[in-house]
């Protein structure tokens, strides 16, 4: 049973600087084995929360922890479960495409966001080893969304003039709320 839970933010509160979702997360001191162990423990809980809520990925600030840690395992992409510590973008394609995004921290909303179609990401894994990932399409979109979380940026900040924040359709909204409630009752 996870001890952590998802931090959400209301549409009216998006500019609240005090919310952990609006703060810059700290680098994990990966040279300390204690910290790596702790990251592993948190990552396992984050994976559990992510799977229970049918999320594709989750950043530590979304469970109230201000560290640069992301877990991901998008169902529609052949990538597999990954934990990324201190991830950084080493390459970002100029080419962008727009698609609708939603977020477990804003469960009732969605919006169209432009993202680079390809990024290369360098990150430390849970064994303390640096890995490089080349990500395209949906995977590239997901990691850019998650990396933004580490800098206190939400996808709502990236809407372009004319692109409005929308209520997600009722089915998706109900599913999102049900999965979060289910998690809280466990
Ligand atoms: Zn998100």
Instruction: Categorize the per-residue pLDDT at 163 as very low, low, confident or very high, splitting at 50, 70 and 90.
Output: confident
Catalytic residue list: 146
Q: How far, in Å, from the CA of 66 to the mean position of ligand 1? A: 14
- Computed over every residue of the chain, the mean pLDDT equals 91
Q: How far, in Å, from the CA of 38 to the mean position of ligand 1? A: 22
Q: What is the three-class DSSP state of 124?
A: strand
Q: In what order do the strands lie in the sheet with 166-167?
A: 96-103, 106-116, 166-167
Q: How far, in Å, from the CA of 71 to the mean position of ligand 1? A: 12
Q: How far, in Å, from the CA of 68 to the mean position of ligand 1? A: 14
Collect residues with CB below 5 Å from ion ligand 1: 103
Q: Which residue has the higher pLDDT, 163 or 41?
A: 41
Instruction: Examine the pLDDT at 178 and tell me if it is beyond 80.
Output: no
Residue 184: what pLDDT? Answer: 67
Residue 48: what pLDDT? Answer: 95
Instruction: Categorize the per-residue pLDDT at 186 as very low, low, confident or very high, splitting at 50, 70 and 90.
Output: low
**Cα–Cα nearest to 59, from 41, 36, 86:** 86
Residue 154: what pLDDT? Answer: 96
Q: Does domain 11-185 have CATH number 3.90.45.10?
A: yes
Percent of the chain as helix, strand, coil, to the nearest 5: 35, 30, 35
Q: How far, in Å, from the CA of 154 to the mean position of ligand 1? A: 7
Q: How far, in Å, from the CA of 31 to the mean position of ligand 1? A: 28
Tokens of 19: 């919310």
**H/E stretch holding 141:** helix 137-150
């Amino acid at each position: 049973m996870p001890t952590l839970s998802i931090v959400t933010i209301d549409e009216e509160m998006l500019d609240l600087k005090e919310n952990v979702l609006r703060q810059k997360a700290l680098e994990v001191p990966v040279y300390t084995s204690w910290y790596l162990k702790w990251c592993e423990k948190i990552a396992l809980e984050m994976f559990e929360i992510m799977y229970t809520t049918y999320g594709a990925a989750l950043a530590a600030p979304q469970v109230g922890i201000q560290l640069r840690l992301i877990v991901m395992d998008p169902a529609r992409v052949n990538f597999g479960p990954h934990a990324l510590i201190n991830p950084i973008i080493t390459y970002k394609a100029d080419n962008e495409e727009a698609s609708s995004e939603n977020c477990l921290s804003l469960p009732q909303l969605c919006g169209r966001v432009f993202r680079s179609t390809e990024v290369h990401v360098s990150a430390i894994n849970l064994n303390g080893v640096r890995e490089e990932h080349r990500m395209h399409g949906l995977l590239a979109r997901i990691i850019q969304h998650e990396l933004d979380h580490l800098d206190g940026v939400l996808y709502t900040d990236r809407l372009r003039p004319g692109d409005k924040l929308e209520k997600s359709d009722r089915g998706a909204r109900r599913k999102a709320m049900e999965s979060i409630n289910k998690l809280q009752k466990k």
